[in-house]
Structure 1
Amino acid sequence: MEREYPPLLIAVLICVMLTGTAIAYGLLMDRGAPPPKQPTLPPAPTATPGTPVTTGVPVPVAARSFSISVTPATATARPGDTVRFTLRLHPESGFSAPVQIKVSATALGGVYRDNHDLGTVTPPYPPLTYEVVAPDLPPLVSTATVDATVTATGGGTVRTEQVQLVIRR
């Protein structure tokens, strides 16, 4: 009498045999492959006196950047008062690109919004003054805080500074 095997067992055995054959083929084919090429290095540079040598090793360079400061950082005024803010740009590591200055302000949960482009400053970066007239407050509001962000963009660098103006009746 002939013994019958379940079809699932036959399918599993076939899969195991095919997987083993594929692994053996991959291993045998890898043995006949040439070894991977090693990268060839250029000949060492020679220098004459007074001539810099290029080694291919990166030399760290201080990033040219800038920082900003705004004074006062917080001011208190009555509606209609004028407040003068002064922005100073501090170049670092030889930074000398033009820098564009913008101010965006919000108050009263976003009900009040104001945006200003203060222009572009160039070296030697003189202090930039900006005068703000405190807006009137809505009825039944005795105090409001205006949160402003000063954004300075130049030479691939962006810097921001936060400023507050508290308006009280």
Structure 2
Amino acid sequence: MLQERSPLLTAIIICALMTVLAVAYALLANEGAPPPKEPALPPVPAGTPGTPAATGAPVQLTSRTFSINVTPAFATARPGDTVRFTLTVHPEGGFDAPVRVRVSATALGGAYRENHDLGTISAPYPPLTYEAAAPGLPPFVSTATVDAVVTATGGGTVRTERVQLVIRR
């Protein structure tokens, strides 16, 4: 008498056998193959312009980037007072791309928000000054802190600096 099996069980057995055969074939096929080689680069003669001399000393590459500094980073003022902030860009490694400066400020849990585009400065990067008027305070509030983020973007680099302004009646 012939025993019947379900089509699902037959399919599973066939898939398992095919998987085992594929793995065995892949292992056997790669066993005799040599390991892949890295492509050889042609030698560069020492003293070729634009290449370091073959001295064996490590070559240090400097990246073209910049840092920023905002002063003062913390200030206290009364409502309506004007506070002068100065941003200085410090180029590194020959950086000379234009730098765009923006300021975003919030206070009172987000009830006060301001965004300013301070423009773009170019090398040799003169100090950028920004005068901010301390906003008024709502009734029954004697002190508030304005948290600002200064963002400088240039040459694919983004730098931020945090600034705080405390307003007291």
* TM-score, reference length from structure 2: 0.76
Deviations 1:48-88 (A, max 9, x none): xx434869xxx652111111111111111111111111111
Contact map agreement 1:71 1:85 (CA 8 A) in 2:
yes
How far off its partner does 1:37 sit?
A: 6.6
How far off its partner does 1:160 sit?
A: 0.3
| Alpha-carbon separation, structure 2, partners of 1:119 and 1:28 | 63
Stretches of structure 2 that go unaligned for 5 or more consecutive residues are 53-58
Instruction: Please state whether the residue corresponding to 1:95 is helix, strand or coil.
Output: coil
% of aligned pairs identical?
Answer: 61
Change in CA separation of 1:34 and 1:162 when aligned onto 2, cut-off 3 Å = closer
Structure (1 or 2) with the larger CA radius of gyration = 1
How far off its partner does 1:15 sit?
A: 3.9
1:125 aligns with 2:125: yes
* TM-score, reference length from structure 1: 0.76
1:91 aligns with 2:91: yes
Instruction: Please state whether the residue corresponding to 1:159 is helix, strand or coil.
Output: strand
Change in CA separation of 1:27 and 1:139 when aligned onto 2, cut-off 3 Å = closer
How far off its partner does 1:29 sit?
A: 7.6
The code of the aligned residue for 2:86 comes to T
Change in CA separation of 1:144 and 1:157 when aligned onto 2, cut-off 3 Å = same
Stretches of structure 1 that go unaligned for 5 or more consecutive residues are none
Determine the structure 2 residue equivalent to 1:151. 151
| Alpha-carbon separation, structure 2, partners of 1:150 and 1:137 | 23
How far off its partner does 1:30 sit?
A: 2.5
| Alpha-carbon separation, structure 2, partners of 1:136 and 1:24 | 74
Two-structure CA RMSD over aligned residues (Å): 3.4
| Alpha-carbon separation, structure 2, partners of 1:40 and 1:121 | 45
| Alpha-carbon separation, structure 1, partners of 2:23 and 2:73 | 73
Map 1:17-36; keep pairs closer than 5 Å: 18-19=17-18, 22-23=21-22, 26=25, 30=29
